[in-house]
Amino acid sequence: MRRRSPRRLLGVLAAVTVAFTLFSSATTAGAADTATSASPGTSTAAVQPLSTSTPVVFVHGYTGNASNWVTGMSVFQLNGWSSSSLFAYEYNSYGNNVTNAQGLATFVNNVKARTGASKVAIVNHSMGGLVSQYYLKVLGGNTSVSHLASIAGANHGTTFASACLVYVTCQQMYPGSSFISQITSGDETPGDTKYATWYSACDGVIIPYTSTRLTGATNNNVLCQTHIGFLADTVVLGQIARFVAS
């Protein structure tokens, strides 16, 4: 029998390693303000299939779109969701986040009507945090949302928005804006909705990076992940899938 060359054996080993990384996920996120110990993009445990009937609505960030959630939706499907239960809401990044939140309210109602579900879960990123928080708190959307997961959300604003203040959405995203005051005054996590956030000191766009944290939520400190890197982090996305299934 012909022996395989060392180079070919190494290639097979590398392929197996990549496959294991893509189809595995870290364990469920821990208590509030805990650090995620696994390195971003790696995994420590095999995916355990979950069963849930909760539709999930993904809300992108500034200048984003539905394509931001390709990896996120794949991870949710690996964890037991059907593609017909996963939805991406798109909005105008340069308009007004009040209008964007109103559009989210309509979108959620349409998802509920389409799926027959009484509530949905929302997973947001970056400025999507502002849109989601306004919907839940100011527009009373918390009664239609079972879980809210905020990934690097600009929930208390970011000074990075100073680079685009020509747009209303960026004015609203700047710390201390009247919009930020509306969604942060009093109870930041209203209703029976379960809230969780994921944030990192390596973010680079949410400044300060702790802006993502919400009082009353399970706040998960990821050791080091970039703002855009979160969207492809299968470890964090796997944790979020488990949070939504809780």
Per-residue pLDDT tens over the stretch 104-152: 999 999 999 999 999 999 999 999 999 999 999 999 999 999 999 999 9
Q: Which of 7-21, 27-41, 175-189 has the lowest mean pLDDT?
A: 7-21
What is the C-alpha separation between 147 and 137, in angstroms, rounded?
14
Q: How confident is the model at residue 222 (pLDDT cuts 50, 70, 90)?
A: very high
pLDDT of residue 53: 83
Q: How confident is the model at residue 25 (pLDDT cuts 50, 70, 90)?
A: very low
pLDDT of residue 145: 98
11-22: average pLDDT: 37
What is the C-alpha separation between 123 and 244, in angstroms, rounded?
9
More confident residue, 25 or 105: 105
pLDDT of residue 52: 75
What is the C-alpha separation between 189 and 227, in angstroms, rounded?
23
Q: Which residues are tagged catalytic? A: 126, 203, 227
Residue 235 · residue 37 · CB < 8 Å: no
Residue 227 · residue 199 · CB < 8 Å: no
Q: Which SS3 state, helix, strand or coil, does residue 96 take?
A: coil
More confident residue, 17 or 83: 83
pLDDT of residue 246: 87
Pairing of strands 45-46, 24-25: antiparallel
What is the C-alpha separation between 176 and 78, in angstroms, rounded?
40
Q: Which helix (H) or strand (E) holds 9?
A: helix 6-22
DSSP conformation class of 15: H
Q: Which helix (H) or strand (E) holds 241?
A: helix 234-245
- Provide the mean pLDDT of the chain: 86
What is the C-alpha separation between 103 and 98, in angstroms, rounded?
9
Show the tokens assigned to 12. 């097979």
Q: How confident is the model at residue 5 (pLDDT cuts 50, 70, 90)?
A: very low
